[in-house]
Amino acid sequence: MPLDVAKDPYAIPEYLTARIDDLGLHDNVRDLVNHGYTVIQDPVAHALTDRVREAILRLADDTAEPRKGQSAALLLGRDPVFAEAVLVPRLLTLVEFLVGRGAILSQLTSSVRGEGAAPLALHADNSWFPAPFPSWEIMATACWVTDEFTKEGGCTAVVPGTHVLKRHPNQQECAELNGLQPIIAAKGSLCLWDGSVWHGNYPRQIPGKRVVMHMTYTRAGFAPVEDYGHLDDAWLEGQPPELRDLLGRNIFLGSTTIASGGPDPAKLMHTQRLARSQRA
């Protein structure tokens, strides 16, 4: 089945063709190529959805202030359902289409949004990379809808087609939100996008809780070659401060803990400053 955009990086690799055929994913591939996102229906995901939602709500209550009740992070291993959830066949196949064979789980976190929750600003998930983004995708993110995605309910919002621009939205684009569309999706849907497409979400205007699991996968090549996790603060004591930088200890990547429910805020701000200074 020919794709509308005939670009080499988007060609389906031979080893994936049979899986994409068998699982009936050609429409999803076409969405990803043409719009930068797609909504996946997988019976395995639908069967797990109630358990995913219950586990997130339970674990979000265990999170310390100020994120208590609003997020639970570092989810894999905290409930058996998550090990099943990261392997949903249709999701993994499309993740592989976007970010290659051997893709690595980068983040498994969640958000709980109640009535009045503020909108999330427009962004591309390639947040820590300068433009132009490479022609191939760095990362893929899926949002697992555990209730229902409606505009009033504060669903994800996307500007379809912006993935081909290969850059971040600028201030004016973030303010104007031209072309922004809601991703309307039923309970149990998986909304998947690449790291380049511009998206955010709508404020929540209705009672109840929007509970979403955020699943990020990245290319195998982005993992460090060597893991220096064993070099602790005691080892770093008295060493030049640049060594801490080189080991990534001052940036937010890897700083999420179960108790905090998200990355270290000071490190996140520091990383944002670093990323902004390298952007055009």
Q: What is the greatest pairwise CA distance in the chain?
A: 61
Strands (E), the chain: 37-40, 104-113, 139-145, 156-159, 181-182, 190-194, 198-201, 210-218
Residue 137, interface with Fe ion (CB under 5 A)?
no
**Closest distance to ligand AKG from the beta carbon of 113 (Å):** 8
Interface with ligand AKG (CB under 6 A), residue from 199, 204, 209, 219: 199
Note the residue count of the chain.
280
Residue 31 within binding range of Fe ion, rule CB under 5 A: no
- Decide: is 156 part of the binding site for ligand AKG (CB under 6 A): yes
**194 near Fe ion, rule: CB under 5 A:** no
Q: Under the criterion CB under 6 A, does residue 201 sit at the interface with ligand AKG?
A: yes
What spatial distance separates the first Cα and last Cα of the chain, rounded to whole Å? 38
| CB 204, CB 117: distance < 8 Å | yes
Number of residues lying near ligand AKG (CB under 6 A)? 10
| Nearest-angstrom CA–CA distance, 77 and 72 | 12
Nearer to ligand AKG, 12 or 253 (CB): 253
125 near Fe ion, judged by CB under 5 A = yes
Interface residue with ligand AKG among 19, 30, 187, 214 (CB under 6 A) is 214
Establish if 143 lies at the interface with ligand AKG (CB under 6 A). yes
- Cα 21 from Cα 278, distance rounded (Å): 41
Nearer to ligand AKG, 93 or 156 (CB): 156
- What lies within 8 Å, CB to CB, of 15 at 6+ separation is 101
User: Closest-CB residue for Fe ion?
Assistant: 125
β pairing state of 190-194 and 37-40: antiparallel
Q: Interface mask (CB under 6 A) for ligand AKG, residues 16-55, using x and -?
A: ----------------------------------------
Contact call for residues 224 and 147 (beta carbons, < 8 A) = no
Contacts with Fe ion, residue ranges (CB under 5 A) = 125
